[in-house]
Amino acid sequence: MNNNIVEVINLTKQFKNTPVVNDLSFSVSKGEIVGLLGANGAGKTTTMHMMLGLIKPTYGQIKIFGHDLDSQKNKILKRMNFASAYQSLSHNFTVQENLNIFADIYEVEKSKQRIEYLLEIFEVSPLRNKLTGGLSSGEKTRVNLCKALLNSPELLLLDEPTASLDPYIADKTRQILAQMQAENNMTIINTSHNMIDVHELCHRILFMQKGKIVAQGSVGEIMAKFGSESLDEVYISLSTNDSIYIEEVKTLK
């Protein structure tokens, strides 16, 4: 068996015959932190949702931990997790209750200590007895991250994880993720519009446009390829120039 935690093979999703993810193939190996980048609407979130079994692909296959996602979904989901800036835990429960519920659902061992530890490192311990619905969006995001790390996932998918965090907490979050990756060899796939996240965390970038990968490599390689000074520039040139998109797709093939 190879070292690939994730294998995405010819993945395609069409909504009403419009392709949103278009014949996408990539793999991620154990311990890698991969940034899935691209303009709004490029298909990043849809790709992630397909990797979680929430959306059924039109064509293609997803293999995680060497198993087919479609046929072994729960076995795979038990070893991975997900957090998104657009999600929240149930509004009518306190932070502590929500985390207890998910610890039970994931059958986390020594869940009390694990919750304690996560509340501590994300600096949300004082919020534990507050109703989740009353938290600010940045606080919710941090509680989501606690939930996403409850089961010590081998694979973590993050959809814009730092979108609503202040710079201090965003920095702290990056440190925590980097530390967990180093300690447990956790694999992370991360969509983020925050270029600091990408620079500091990602070993490799997959640049998506119109549902396809148009460039991939390390931050340095990508900038060199586009002759850009910064990732922001790459973003802008990819978003405004369709010919680059077509050329890149050709060369990738």
Ligand X SMILES: Nc1ncnc2c1ncn2[C@@H]1O[C@H](COP(=O)(O)OP(=O)(O)O)[C@@H](O)[C@H]1O
From other proteins, ligand X, Mg ion, none, which one binds at residue 77 (CB under 5 to 8 Å depending on kind)? Answer: other proteins
Region of 35-43, 79-87, 137-145, 173-181 interacting with ligand X (CB under 6 A): 35-43
Q: Which helix (H) or strand (E) holds 235?
A: helix 231-240
Please select the residue that binds ligand X; options are 2, 17, 40, 240, rule is CB under 6 A.
40
Please give the C-alpha separations between residue 124 and each of 127, 128, 143, 189, 197, in angstroms, as whole numbers.
Answer: 5, 7, 7, 24, 21
The contact mask relative to other proteins for 33-62 (x = CB under 8 A, - = no) is ------------xx--x--xxxxx------
Q: How far is the CB of 149 from ligand X (least distance, A)?
A: 22
Tokens of 140: 């919710």
Q: Contact, 229 vs 223, CB < 8 A? A: yes
User: Within 13 Å and on the Cβ side, how many CA atoms surround 100?
Assistant: 8
Q: Could you tell me the two tokens for 36?
A: 């899935």
**Shortest Cβ distance from residue 215 to ligand X (Å)?**
15
Q: Specify whether the CB–CB gap between 153 and 161 falls below 8 A.
A: no
Residue 87 is a binding residue for ligand X (CB under 6 A) = no
Based on the shown chain and the rule CB under 8 A, indicate whether residue 245 belongs to the binding site for other proteins: no
Check residue 46 for interaction with ligand X (CB under 6 A).
Answer: yes
Compute φ and ψ for 223, nearest 5 degrees. Answer: -65, -40
For Mg ion, the binding residue among 4, 22, 45, 84 (CB under 5 A) is 45
Q: Is 135 in the site for ligand X (CB under 6 A)?
A: no
Judged by the rule CB under 6 A, the positions of this chain that interact with ligand X are 15, 20, 38, 40-46
